[in-house]
A = this chain, B = another copy of it.
Amino acid sequence: MRRMNVGIAQFAMSSDLAVNLDRAEAHIEQLAGDGADVICLPELFASRYFCQTENPDHYALAEAVPGPTTERFEAVARKLDVALVLSLFEQRAPGLYHNTAAVIDGPRGYLGKYRKMHIPDDPRYYEKYYFTPGDMGFRTFDLRVGRIGVLICWDQWYPEAARLTALRGAEVLFYPTAIGWHPEEKDSHGVQQHGAWETIQRSHAVANGCFVVSVNRTGFEPEPGGSADEGIQFWGQSFAVGPDGAVLERLPESGESTAVVSLDLDLMAEQRHGWPFLRDRRIDAYGELASRWLDD
């Protein structure tokens, strides 16, 4: 039986960068001690979610990938013999930035990166200001314990992204995420927004017969310059899903929490043999998926 023990660290970010990096390292140490092989942290865990406003001062948060943060965590991963999925704010050149995830595998060090392909932009999520859409396509990474795909937050709404990563053989799709409620909308839309988010990621597991692991932030982060109740209430509820779409683990809405979820990778073949969706894709009829809209 092939197993991958996935560690999920869900936490809130401080305005003090050093605190966030230390907290991340502490969670990684704890999860490694709990038996995790691969540990994923929330999106852009090194800082508050700075995209709530468009402010050029925030470009100073960006760094090379690989760079200082991957170097620090390569040492951690080597010491603990674990793999890491780390979401970082990448500076590629002055004036050219990406929302990027680095993958590190224990003694093998930095393996490579994925640059977020789908960039959102809506109130308090002004990511198009900061991040150029990824230009590396959809990618997988061969860890010692299996092949993983890495996607980031807004990518999770696109079946195309999950499919293209699964077609490259990903056994587990990781989604570092920073998603939450506008507090003023939570009562009216909160349950359905969260439900849609979990549903579509569960559907990626079903459609592709693979595992999905989504790791979110928790806590309230105020909007700079806003009133006390303006900001984002991150909804936590990080989760892991099996290839049949069943939720294997769901963390709470608030507070720091971690989990190690043991994935039985052999279930993928069992699921795909029962419902052989990949066999029947109509690739002769899918060319128009590369169209923006199919006008009359």
Contact = CB atoms under 8 A, between A and B. Distances in A.
A164 interface: yes
Contacts of A292: 281, 283
Contact of A192 (B199, B203, B245): B245
Choose among A117, A133, A158, A281 the residue with the greatest number of B CB atoms under 10 Å from its CB: A281
Given A119-B280, A199-B206, A275 B157 contact: yes
Contacts of A122: 274-276
Copies of this chain per assembly: 2
A294 B208 CA distance: 13
A34 interface: no
Contacts of A285: 117, 137-138, 164
Contact of A290 (B154, B168, B283): B283
A294 B163 CA distance: 10
A296 interface: yes
Interface of A, secondary structure class, is helix
Interface residues of A, number: 55
Given A137-B285, A203-B199, A246 B280 contact: no
A196 to B, nearest CB: 4
Given A118-B282, A281-B158, A290-B283, A246 B192 contact: yes
A288 B164 contact: yes
Contacts of A207: 157-159, 200
A72 to B, nearest CB: 31
A98 interface: no
Contacts of A159: 159-160, 163, 203, 207
Interface string A9-31: 00000000000000000000000
For A168, A288, A292, A296, which residue has the most chain B Cβ atoms within 10 angstroms? A288
Contacts of A286: 160, 164, 289-290
A282 B292 CA distance: 9
Given A196-B244, A199-B202, 8 more contacts: A158-B207, A159-B207, A167-B288, A167-B293, A168-B294, A192-B244, A193-B244, A286-B289
List 8 A-B pairs, minimum CB-CB distance, nearest first.
A203-B203, A159-B159, A196-B245, A167-B294, A200-B203, A168-B294, A196-B206, A286-B290
Interface of A: 117-120, 122, 133, 137-138, 154, 157-161, 163-164, 167-169, 189, 192-193, 195-196, 199-200, 202-204, 206-207, 244-246, 274-278, 280-294, 296
